[in-house]
Amino acid sequence: MNQDYPGAFEVLMVNDGSTDDYEKVLAPYCASTARPIKIIPSHYDKAVGLTSKQQAIDTGAAKASYDWLLFTDADMEFRKNWIASMAGMVSHGHDLVFGHTALRKKAPNGLFNAMQSYQLEFLFAVAHAFQAARLTGSCMGNNLLVKKESYRAIGGQKGVGHSIVEDCDLLRVFKRKGFSVAAALPFTAYAYTFPCKSITGFFSQALRWGRGGLRMKSGLFPLWVLFCFQNVLFLLSLARLVPQQIEIAALANAALTIVFVYSSFKKIHSTENLFLLPVYYIFLMVETLAFLATFIVAPDISWKGRKL
């Protein structure tokens, strides 16, 4: 309600199976604001062949009054110029624009939260780098501007197909269909999400991103295999379990990774403390091994209480 965007917009809140008192909480805002707020129920139908979130997204998109859809999530906060910053990309002729989301830093800001923040920045740095290189990368649906006409042209989420990373797959479909995709300029964070409260929750989120975004038909899969291979070699090098030539190559790769993170974080106007980068690099190594181990034990992936 505090957005400084001068144009017309409406707020559509889709209830994807919520059982809390959301209507009671939202009632004062619905009654007092000049901006229209629509609360829309979404009923999951397993026969449709899409996740409940995908069905909720299509339900909201079908009720939208304007020509552009700005997707986000419930667990978000925004700077006052968030809508204005994304809407400024409309005149550039793009069909899909993804923005930069950062982690909201609130006390206590321990090492675990710092690593989550680094993780998110790293993902957006890679997404921005891929887009700059004209490669199909990734994005996040909590900060995504889509032209409604183009969204309908691909068939909405039905055109995407069943996906646990519907935002990334939407971007891939748009590129495959020849629509224009871009990163917001400047790629500054105007939208904020919050850290997971537990390691279990964080790992479930990472599994969803990994299993969904890095599957074999994904364009990112070959690079992910290379990335894992490099990380394993780096750990083996630290333990002096590989020949010296491989140790040198692994350490050189680690140095290149640090240079990439430093330069790309600067490019996306990151506020992360770069002195924590060595700690994050170790965290990334451990996370890689843990992720690879899941292919052996193959646990179910759950997110926000739902099996995916």
94-106 pLDDT tens trace: 999 999 999 987 6
The model carries a pTM of 0.88
Residue 94 one-letter amino acid: H
- Tell me, rounded to whole angstroms, the distance of Cα 194 from its chain centroid: 12
At the fourth CATH level, the homologous superfamily of domain 11-307 is: Spore Coat Polysaccharide Biosynthesis Protein SpsA; Chain A (3.90.550.10)
Query: 11-15 and 37-41: which strand pairing?
Result: parallel
Q: Name the more confident of 295 and 53.
A: 53
- Phi, psi angles (nearest 5°) of residue 9: -155, 160
Task: Write down the residue that tokens 């129920």 correspond to.
Answer: 41
The token pair at 242 is 């590989």
Of the candidates 21, 155, 129, 139, the one whose C-alpha atom is nearest the C-alpha of residue 71 is 139
- pLDDT digit string, tens, across residues 52-79: 999 999 999 999 999 999 999 988 999 9
Using the predicted structure, report yes or no on whether residue 279 has a pLDDT greater than 60.
yes
Rg (CA), the chain: 20
Structure confidence at residue 291 as a pLDDT band (50, 70, 90): confident
Closest C-alpha among 68, 104, 61 to residue 86: 68
Residue with the two structure tokens 């350490």: 251
First to last CA, the chain: 33
Say which range, 83-87, 104-108, 159-163, 242-246, has the weakest mean pLDDT.
Answer: 104-108
Please check whether residue 40 is in contact with residue 15, taking contact to mean a CB–CB distance below 8 angstroms.
yes
What φ, ψ does residue 147 adopt, rounded to 5°?
-75, 125
Residues 31-52, mean pLDDT to the nearest whole number: 90
**What letter does residue 103 receive in the DSSP assignment?**
E
d(CA 179, CA 191): 25
The residue ranges of every structural domain in the chain are 11-307
* Selected residue with higher pLDDT from 109 and 273: 273
What is 26-56 written as a DSSP string?
A: HHHHHHH-SS-EEEEE----GGG-S-HHHHH
Which H or E run includes 306?
Answer: strand 306-307
As a whole number, the mean pLDDT across the chain is 87
| Of 130, 295, 146, 282, residue with least CA distance to 210 | 295
- Over residues 219-263, the pLDDT tens digits come to 666 666 777 777 778 778 888 888 888 888 888 888 888 888 889
Q: Is the pLDDT of residue 216 over 60?
A: no
